[in-house]
């Protein structure tokens, strides 16, 4: 038998910044999720509409599950560096190592250690590729609270967090005492700042979100969003950048950022991306979560960002490339 204190210590030993435990219960947002899908706010992400039963109930994912161990890594802290001329911006979570691999490797080690302590229970580690509402469970476990932009916010260090979980049949005491319900109050900064108006309180229309458009949307992007996309070519951080919980304070600056997420670069030269071959893309994205975006998607994003850049700057080489790329 193991207890929650052992689990927390073990996860901390493997470098997770936040750890909590909650019950493996059916999502309280299942009906809202179904309505969100019916409104087609998931865009082209058909995988979200698949296996809905697994997503809303961890006992369908892991039969006889009783607990969910929730963990978080912190991946950013400082102000964004100035964007170089002719560059497109990358969301902070994708600037370092691929969080899927970074987290999954350590989660598997934790699972193995837990099996050694308790061989009678099942342990299944997962990151966001598994059908699990990890944000809801993380909030229930006391790791933070869901903000109006739908992201998990720890009121001490903000929302620059990667989430992972271990679904288990072990019966563990919950850590969800005194869970914060609303970290936002009357604040609407994320809603006001979103360039595509994708955010309404505690809901995001993914089909209008710049992160979705640049990473998950495979076909052409509706021209009505082009100007609003600005210089973003992979993801978007705007709703997090304006969040009061992410502003620089002694506490947020001192909170540890996992070393595997150290930035390898916050932007890419748009002209270079437009000249990329598939081999260039593979080399640039080796070990990065950015490999999810295919070559045609990255060049589509770069072309939109380049057009926005050229509306305020003169760059003849970039202009010529855009002209030839569109023809």
Which two three-digit tokens encode residue 40? Answer: 């087609």
Q: How many CB atoms neighbour CB 156 within 10 A?
A: 12
**Helices marked H in 173-249:** 189-193, 210-215, 226-229, 238-241
Which two three-digit tokens encode residue 237? Answer: 């951080």
Closest CA to 225 of 214, 241, 215: 214
Distance CA 16, CA 72 (A): 6
Pairing of strands 87-90, 232-234: parallel
Find tokens 């999954």 and name the residue: 104
**Helices marked H in the chain:** 4-13, 30-38, 46-49, 52-56, 58-61, 99-117, 134-140, 189-193, 210-215, 226-229, 238-241, 250-254, 270-275, 278-284, 295-310, 316-326
Per-residue DSSP letter, 92: G
Assess whether 128 carries a catalytic annotation: yes
> Residues 271, 317: contact at Cβ < 8 Å?
yes
Q: Which of 128, 269, 280, 315 is catalytic?
A: 128
Report helix angle 316-326 to 295-310, nearest 10.
Answer: 130
> Residues 114, 10: contact at Cβ < 8 Å?
yes
Q: How many CB atoms neighbour CB 248 within 10 A?
A: 11
Closest CA to 73 of 19, 31, 110: 19
Residues making up the chain, counted from first to last: 327
Burial 29-66 (b: 16+ CB within 10 A, else e): beeebeebeeeebbbebeebeeeeeebbbbeebbeebb
Catalytic residues: 128
């Amino acid at each position: 038998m193991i207890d929650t204190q052992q689990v927390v210590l073990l996860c901390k030993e493997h470098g997770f910044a936040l750890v909590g435990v909650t019950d493996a219960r059916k999502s309280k947002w299942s009906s809202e999720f179904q309505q969100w899908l019916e409104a087609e706010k998931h865009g082209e992400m058909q995988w979200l509409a698949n296996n809905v039963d697994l997503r809303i109930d961890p006992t369908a994912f892991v039969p006889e599950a009783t607990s969910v161990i929730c963990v978080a890594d912190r991946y950013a802290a400082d102000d964004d560096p100035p964007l170089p001329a002719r560059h497109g911006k990358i969301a902070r979570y994708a600037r370092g190592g691929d969080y899927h691999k970074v987290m999954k490797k350590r989660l598997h080690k934790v699972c193995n250690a837990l099996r050694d302590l308790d061989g009678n229970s099942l342990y299944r580690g997962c990151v966001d590729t598994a059908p699990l509402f990890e944000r809801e469970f993380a909030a229930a476990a006391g790791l933070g609270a869901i903000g109006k932009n739908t992201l998990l916010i720890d009121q001490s260090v903000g929302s620059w967090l990667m989430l992972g979980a271990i679904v288990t049949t072990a019966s563990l005491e919950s850590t969800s005492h005194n869970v914060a319900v609303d970290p936002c109050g009357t604040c609407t900064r994320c809603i006001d700042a979103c360039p595509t108006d994708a955010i309404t309180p505690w809901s995001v229309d993914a089909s209008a979100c710049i992160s979705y458009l640049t990473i998950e949307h495979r076909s052409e992007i509706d021209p009505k969003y082009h100007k609003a996309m600005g210089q973003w070519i992979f993801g978007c951080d705007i709703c997090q950048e304006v969040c009061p919980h992410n502003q620089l304070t002694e506490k947020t600056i001192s909170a540890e950022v996992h070393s595997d997420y150290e930035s390898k670069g916050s932007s890419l030269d748009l002209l270079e991306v437009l000249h990329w071959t598939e081999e260039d893309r593979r080399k640039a994205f080796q070990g990065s979560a950015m490999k999810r975006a295919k070559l045609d998607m990255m060049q589509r994003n770069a072309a939109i960002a380049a057009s926005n850049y050229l509306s305020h700057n003169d760059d003849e080489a970039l202009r010529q490339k855009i002209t030839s790329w569109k023809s």
